[in-house]
Every structure is written in C-alpha cells, then in structure tokens.
Structure 1
Amino acid sequence: MNPLKIFCFVAILVAAASASPRHGMSKDNSVTSSLKPSDWLSAAELEALPSVDDITLQQLENMSVEEGERMIEKAYHLSQINHSLRPSFTPSPSNVPVILMKSNGQPEQTNLNEMIEIVKQEPNFGNEEVTIFITGLPETSPAVAKANKKLVEAYMQRYNGLRQPINNNKDYEQSSDKEIATSSEEDYSESWKKPKATKGNLLIINLGATITSMKRLALLDVVQTGEMIGKALVQLTNEVDVPQEIIHIVGQGMGAQVAGVAAREYKRLTGHQLRRITALDPSKIFAKDTLTLTGLTRGDADFVDAIHTSTCGMGTRRRVGDIDFYVNGPHSKAPGARNVVEASMRATRYFAESVRPGNERNFPAVAANSISQYENNEGSGKRAYMGIATEYDLEGDYILKVNPKSPFGKSAAAKKQSTYHGLHQSWRSDKN
C-alpha cells in the first residue's frame, strides 16, 4: 500500500475513532486501545477506501457539499497531526501556462519562462495598474472554468469600459434583515454607482492547469512554486519597468498560498513590497515543511485581503490577511453551492462581480467573529466592502451575507452593529 493510500486510510480510522464510542472507548470517549482496522471497518470497507491518487475533482463535484467536506477534512487533519505528507510536486516554469490579455481583449498565450518576452511586446504594459491572477485549479472543472471566465470578463470590462454594470439584485428578494442607515458618508451618496474608467493590464499565471489531480494538489511544494513565480515578478520590474506599487496579485485557492511566497521572494530580491494580494478562498495546505513559513500571511504585501467561502472544504478558515471576509461566518459554505469545488469558486465569482464597474460596493460587511454576532448586531467598527473596493486601512474579521445566485451582492447598507470585538480574535476551532 503506497504512502498516500496509508495516509487516507489512517485519516478515516482517526475520524471513525472520534466519531462514536465503540471498542476501547472509556466513558470520556477517549481512545484506550490501538486503532486496529477490524475495530472500525469491515474488510469490504477497507478495500473500498480511496487514496489521494483515486480522488478526482469530478468525484468531488458529484458529491454533496457535506460529503466532499468530510472527505477533505479527514485527509487534511491527519496531515497536520503527524505531518505524513511532504511537498514533492513543483511544476516546471515551461509547463505553467501564462496568458496576457491584450488591450483589444484577445489572449496571448505563452508560459512562465517566456512571459517577459510576450509582455515586452504589449504597448504601455505597466504604465497603469497590473493585475496578476494566479489560478488554483484546472478548468476541466466546469465551476472553475466559469469562475475564471467571469473574472477575466470583469477585468476586461473594468480596463476597457465597454459594457454596463451588472443589474444589482433586482431579480432576488432582499434579506429579511432591515438595513439601518449609519453615519457613514457613503450611505447618502449615489455617486459611486457611476462607473469610472480604469486602465490596466491583466496577466494570468495559470498554475491551476498543472494541478491536474488531488494528489498534485496535496503534494504541491508551495514554497518552491512561489519562489519560482516570485522570480518572474522580479523580472517584470527589472526588465519591463513595472513598479511594485501598481502590482495586485489575485490568488485563487492554492494560487493564493503560492502568491504569499512569491511576494516574499519578490521582497527578498528587490527590497520592495508588492502593493496588494487578494486571496480567493485560500486553500488548505496539506504538505509542508514544519520549519519553513509556508503559504500566505499578513504582511506579505502592503495590504492582504481574503475572501473565505469553503472553510470546511477546500478552503481554510485560518486568517491569512490584514482583513478576512467570511461569507455567512467562519464555519459556513457559500450559499447556493452544490459541491465543495463550486463553494470554493464562489470567492472568485464574488470578487469578479465587485470588479465590474458600478458594482464595487455590492458586498458590504461588518466586523464580527461569528454569524450569530453579526445577526444579533453585536459587531462594530468601520464598515467594509468585500472585493475590489476594500479599503487598505481596515483590519480584522468581517462577516457578510450574500445571495445564493448571481448577482450575489446584496448591494445595500450593512447592518448597524453595536459593540466591538477587536481584531482577529481567535475561535477554538481555528485549525485549518
């Protein structure tokens, strides 16, 4: 039995042992005997156990959210208990697709090795905002393909200003919560709804195309991959004169974790920090070196914001940014999502909606540490807008509700909250 098979097998044993009192359990429900396979599973069940090699995105998409969450959580928690997995997969730069979206909306395809040469051919690249989108899953998944398409379309609209903004929530009922006006200036102004032209460039590092299986996702060397991308970003500055203060990295899933390392590598090599990293449902990291800082963390850029939509599935509930947004709270999934892949991709969909001109403030949120505090008006602090318009001076944990279908943003004033809970307070189950 290979290590990955053993890994998943023991994970299920551990989960079974903690699920209900059976053989070898004392009154306090603790395990007092060894975890013998026959204690928990039949021979047929043992034979049917899947390894990471056997799990596919298609399988996860065919499962309910709850089934997918259980499968991923079992594997993840064991990997953190005994560190049974070690990072062993790093894609070659020549195998990482890169797409430059040209000003006429046409894509120019290359790879990470050749990225600089393609960028040099684009007139005025780097004179305005530069957004670098690092994908986290392959587009063989319909949910991933749709989310990525929506984000690219949104940026093309933002940078070229060709279309009208999305119809804001007219087809869906408002929340039963009655919005209460605050003293914030924006409550009395409609000027923000007028789309403003923004110039910029979109560069897509399609890391997700190389993560073709759950095995690769689990074994991805986040540090080596991030350092590889970080060096490519340094080339943008050194050879194309792109200043760090106009670079915004948008990382999706595992791409968000890689973005943190890339930004640290950029700072190490240049002495300068990137402007912003936005994490779209940052992933759980299965395999990592316990002696090395792995993944995204606050401080990797001047401003780090994160949108969490699948904390019990493919995403992590761990705080990674200056400000972390939790849709429906830290223990919830994205409303309307049918499986864990779709739930994770909702973060990309929400961000894409906010990128479209006129929708920047579609996702109002308030500082709170749980959905119950939010619903009981016990949160406080300055109101935030999740997405492209998040202000850089904000910190802490923010909660919001969204619609189950597009348009997702409620586009209304956030509920007025009465008390203050502090910044980044911990909750007991913050383990992911």
Structure 2
Amino acid sequence: MNILKTIGLLVLIIGAASASSKNNKQGRSNAPSSSSLKPTNWLSVHELQSLPSAEDISLQQLENMSVQEGERLIEKIYHLSKIDHNLRPTYVPSASNVPVVFVKPNGQNVECNLNELVSKAKQQPNFGSEEVTIFITGLPQSSPAVAKANKKLVQAYMQRYHGQQQPVNANFESDERQPATSSEEDYSESWKQPRANKGNFVIIKLGATLTNMKRYALLDVEQTGQMIGKTLVQLTDEADVPQEIIHVVGQGIGAQVAGAAGRQYKRWTGHQLRRITALDPAKIFASDKKVLSGLARGDADFVDAIHSSTCGLGTRRRVGDVDFFVNGPASVAPGADNVVEAAMRATRYFAESVRPGNQRNFAAVPASSKQQYESNEGYGKRAYMGIAAQYDLKGDYVLNVNAKSPFGKSSPAQKQNSYHGLHQAWRSDKKNSQY
C-alpha cells in the first residue's frame, strides 16, 4: 500500500487500525499495547477525519499556526506514523538533484550538485588543507525562518574563516525577498576581529529537495545518509581531505541524515568523522522497525546536539555524546512564533556561537529537566553549547536563552545593552578557540 499517495494520512490511520485488528485475530491479542494502538482510542473520529493529508501540509501553514497548534498537529501525525511502523521510508533524492554550494569569501559562490561535489572540491584552492565544515540543511528556504537562519550561519562562518562579513547572494537564498522574522538582527556592519580560523564552508541543500510534507515524512534517512557518506569517503580518497578536519553540521532531518552518513563513512574507511553537530534533530516519521535509524553517539568522534523544539518538529530523543536542551527537554524556544521558527532557533544559537568572540555565550549545566536545572543553576560542571562544546562532554545539559538576539545569556553586558552599536567593543576570546 502506497501510504499518503492517495488519500494521505487517512489511509495510514485506517491501515494502522486494520493491522491492529488483524494482529488480534491471528492470536496476538495478548500483546499489551495492541488495543491501545488503535487511533480511535486516543483521537476522536472527528479529529481523525479533520487531519490533513501530508500533501496538503506546507511550511507556510505551519508558520501561520501558533506554536501550540503546530505542535499538536505534528504530534498527531508523528504518533500515527509510528503505529505498527506502518509508514515506510520510500523517498531518496537523487545525488544529481541535491544542490551544493561552496561558499567563497569573495561572494562568488560555486554551485553544483551532490554528485559533482568532489570534483568541484578538487578545483578549489587549498581545499582540504584547512578545516572543512559541511552543512546539511533540513527544510527548504521558501520559509522566511529557514532562509534567515541559514543566512546567519553562513555569515557567521565567513567571519570565523575569513574575518569579514560575507553577503549571501541570491544563489543561496530563495529568490523571493524574505520578510523579517521575530528577534530580527542586523549584521550589516563589519566586525573588527583580529583573527580568523581558516576553513572551507560547504552547504548540501538537502532541504531544497523536501518540497512538501509528503517527501519530508517519507524521507529514507538511512539511504540518503549513505549517499552523502559515500560522497564524504570520496572527498577523503580523491580530494585528500582527512576525516580529522571534517565537521558535519546537520539541521533538522539533515542531522539524522548526518548520523547515517557518519556510520557509512566509518564502514568504508574504518575511521570516524571528527564531529557531527545536530541543530534541532528532527522526528523521523518513516522508518523500518528492523533498523535503528538516525543520529546516535558513536557516529563521529564527538556528537553534540542542540534541541530547540522537542514538542514540534524536533525530537526529545538523546542523539549525541552531549545533548543541550534549551529551557529543558519539554520546552519550545522562547520568542519563537511557530514550530518552524522554533526549530530554526537551534541554527540561530549555533550561528551566534560561531561568530568570533561569542563562543561562550551559551553556558549550560548538567540537568535532565527544567526543574532540576532551576534548583541547581550555577552548580555542576559548566559547559558551553555551540562551537566551543568540549569533546569530553557527556550527558544532558540545560540552559536558558534570551527570547531575542543576542540569544546567549552569557553574552557581554555591552552586547545586551546596545547590540548593534558597540560591535567594536566586543572582546575576542582567544583562549576558547575550538580548533
């Protein structure tokens, strides 16, 4: 049965209920959760009938809903997809259809597709002799929140690698002019930083292929990750890029794909990627019950995750050596107006930490709940979420953030008081260079 192709999620609902009934008839009625898995036991018939099909859900609709409305819709769809693992992954984008951008300091970005990434990398001067950051996007940039978050991350890395502001051209952003999102910030002025870490920034625009909720929900995380993992192996073998300098940053569902890519890289090379950073790792809707899918600790030498929308598009599941939960494991990013923006806050937080001088903006402490964090705030081993996360960190950490930029609670006082007017006074923290 091709779920979601004909009548969308309603087929899934009926199929799951039928499967549960069939299991009971086959003598498995003693399974403890067989009856509780029936959708009608926890959703009314009206709610089931009113659920839209995956093809009818768009990013714009999610952005037009309140955070609470968006969370409830996503939770319904997610839990229905997990009944009997009835939703199987069927969508894998072709390598020739996944856009890739090499972001260059002169603004003349190099574009290609995933199947051309290695050949283009070999043409870039000194590529692989310095740090290589590969950013895997998780949603299309038709969303203003997605476009803005990605732009901020690109600008942050241009400052980190080249010590200057990088205008992001139309080749990376969507063609339409994007309206401002909440907590708007302006980085039009160049920052005067004395030092920059050299490196290369590459964007794998997986999100550009996920043009509707159907593709997003049916994405085969493992197969897509293996495709990207194969490219990373070729990058090492053919372009002489050692795994020690590769940092993969995955956004949303792209973070789950990054885990599969890391495992594939290790299978083929016997070595691990240095680091995978997950920016609000997403819920996986379609999965094979026989396969443990998505990101997990061990997929790189160091795996760190920033969770900003665990009740929305993001997952509460621990995926890394260290997981940072903003405002606790069951909270939404403060100041976000909808679930898409909440998911993108993790990208915005990470981008802020990448900018020179901001590495220690996000201080966190060990905690497994907001209550534990509040009762022990300031105690325990302090860690820094973002680019400065130390490789020996383990476990769950919780922190509070500001609702508007600058998001980090530990940002210097002058930044808090006059964020846009005192760039020249910001102090570069040379002692906290991650690399």
- Fold in common (TM above 0.5): yes
Structure 2 Cα separation of the partners of residues 32 and 222 of structure 1? 28
Structure 1 Cα separation of the partners of residues 222 and 35 of structure 2? 36
**CA shift digits 1:274-327 (9 cap, x unpaired):** 000000000000111111121000000000000000000000000000000000
Does the CA contact (< 8 Å) of 1:134 and 1:249 recur in 2? yes
Structure 2 Cα separation of the partners of residues 196 and 53 of structure 1? 48
Does the CA contact (< 8 Å) of 1:160 and 1:197 recur in 2? yes
**CA shift digits 1:181-217 (9 cap, x unpaired):** xxxxxxxxxxxx9764200000100000000111111
Is 1:6 equivalent to 2:5 in the alignment? no
Cα deviation for residue 6 of structure 1 reads 2.0
Is 1:246 equivalent to 2:248 in the alignment? no
Does the residue aligned with 2:382 lie in a helix, a strand or coil? strand
The residue that corresponds to 2:148 in the other structure is 146
Cα deviation for residue 105 of structure 1 reads 3.5
Picking from 66, 76, 92, the partner of 2:78 is 76
The residue that corresponds to 1:134 in the other structure is 136
The residue that corresponds to 2:218 in the other structure is 219
Shift in CA distance, 377/120, structure 1 to aligned 2, threshold 3 Å: same
Does the CA contact (< 8 Å) of 1:9 and 1:51 recur in 2? no
Shift in CA distance, 234/370, structure 1 to aligned 2, threshold 3 Å: same
Cα deviation for residue 8 of structure 1 reads 6.1
Structure 2 Cα separation of the partners of residues 286 and 34 of structure 1? 18
Does the CA contact (< 8 Å) of 1:282 and 1:315 recur in 2? yes
Name whichever of 219-228 and 99-108 sits farther off. 99-108
Cα deviation for residue 117 of structure 1 reads 1.6
Does the residue aligned with 1:305 lie in a helix, a strand or coil? strand
Please tell me the residue identity of whatever aligns with 1:91: P
Please tell me the residue identity of whatever aligns with 2:374: E
Shift in CA distance, 226/56, structure 1 to aligned 2, threshold 3 Å: same
Does the CA contact (< 8 Å) of 2:365 and 2:397 recur in 1? yes
Structure 2 Cα separation of the partners of residues 276 and 34 of structure 1? 41
The residue that corresponds to 1:375 in the other structure is 374
Shift in CA distance, 12/82, structure 1 to aligned 2, threshold 3 Å: closer
Does the residue aligned with 1:365 lie in a helix, a strand or coil? strand
Structure 1 Cα separation of the partners of residues 40 and 317 of structure 2? 33
Shift in CA distance, 62/12, structure 1 to aligned 2, threshold 3 Å: farther
Does the CA contact (< 8 Å) of 1:368 and 1:379 recur in 2? no
Does the CA contact (< 8 Å) of 1:98 and 1:112 recur in 2? yes
TM-score under structure 1 length normalisation: 0.80
Shift in CA distance, 88/155, structure 1 to aligned 2, threshold 3 Å: same
Does the residue aligned with 2:324 lie in a helix, a strand or coil? strand
Is 1:284 equivalent to 2:288 in the alignment? no
Shift in CA distance, 47/321, structure 1 to aligned 2, threshold 3 Å: closer
Question: How is 1:152-163 mapped onto 2 (pairs within 5 angstroms)?
Answer: 152-162=154-164
Does the CA contact (< 8 Å) of 1:8 and 1:75 recur in 2? no
Does the residue aligned with 1:126 lie in a helix, a strand or coil? coil
Cα deviation for residue 119 of structure 1 reads 1.0
Does the residue aligned with 2:365 lie in a helix, a strand or coil? strand
Identity %: 69
**CA shift digits 1:139-183 (9 cap, x unpaired):** 00110000000000100111001259xxxxxx9xxxxxxxxxxxx
Please tell me the residue identity of whatever aligns with 1:108: V
TM-score under structure 2 length normalisation: 0.79
The residue that corresponds to 1:325 in the other structure is 324
Picking from 87, 91, 94, the partner of 1:92 is 94
Shift in CA distance, 36/246, structure 1 to aligned 2, threshold 3 Å: closer
Root-mean-square deviation (CA), in Å?
2.6
Name whichever of 80-89 and 314-323 sits farther off. 80-89
Does the CA contact (< 8 Å) of 1:89 and 1:221 recur in 2? yes
Matched positions, count: 367
Does the residue aligned with 1:53 lie in a helix, a strand or coil? helix
Question: How is 1:296-375 mapped onto 2 (pairs within 5 angstroms)?
Answer: 296-375=295-374
Cα deviation for residue 230 of structure 1 reads 0.3
Structure 2 Cα separation of the partners of residues 201 and 210 of structure 1? 24
Does the CA contact (< 8 Å) of 1:7 and 1:75 recur in 2? no
Does the CA contact (< 8 Å) of 1:323 and 1:397 recur in 2? yes
Q: Which runs of 5+ in 1 are unaligned?
A: 14-29, 165-170, 172-192, 414-432
Cα deviation for residue 375 of structure 1 reads 0.9
Name whichever of 70-79 and 126-135 sits farther off. 70-79
Does the CA contact (< 8 Å) of 1:11 and 1:77 recur in 2? no
Q: Which runs of 5+ in 2 are unaligned?
A: 18-33, 167-182, 184-191, 413-435
Does the CA contact (< 8 Å) of 1:326 and 1:398 recur in 2? yes
The residue that corresponds to 2:56 in the other structure is 54
Structure 2 Cα separation of the partners of residues 74 and 10 of structure 1? 14
Please tell me the residue identity of whatever aligns with 1:249: V
Shift in CA distance, 32/272, structure 1 to aligned 2, threshold 3 Å: closer
